[in-house]
Amino acid sequence: MVNTENGQTVEYPVLTLKKQKIWLRADCDFRNMTDTALFYFSTNGKTWNQAGAPLPMKYTLPHFMGYRFGLFNYAPKEVGGWVEVDWMRVK
């Protein structure tokens, strides 16, 4: 996970998972101006581990365009690779 904090790029530790399948989850809370997202991963879809730090997601009305979620493959060392997404649910 990579984020920007106080104008500086912060990269959180990388985990090497030896599984063919992982689950990803993002929990967002916009109640009472909390405006925070938490990210998780699981290797079995039941036990969840937090990934990175809470992400502030300010919800302001002057020009709020909305947040978009997506999954993609990012190869930092060499070109190539792939990711297969079976399904995505937003609720």
Q: How far apart are CA 27 and CA 18, in angstroms?
A: 25
Query: What local confidence, expressed as pLDDT, does residue 31 receive?
Result: 87
Classify each residue of 57-89 as buried b or exposed e, where b means 16 or more C-beta atoms within 10 Å of its C-beta.
eeeeeeeeeeeeeeeeeeeeeeeeeeeeeeeee
List, for residues 49-71, the tens digit of each pLDDT value. Answer: 998 889 888 767 776 666 677 77
Q: How many CB atoms lie within 10 A of CB 1?
A: 14
Looking at every residue in the chain, the average pLDDT score rounds to: 83
- Mean per-residue pLDDT pooled into runs of 10, the chain (91 residues): 84 81 88 89 93 82 68 79 80 74
**Residue extents of the structural domains in the chain:** 1-82
Query: What local confidence, expressed as pLDDT, does residue 66 receive?
Result: 66
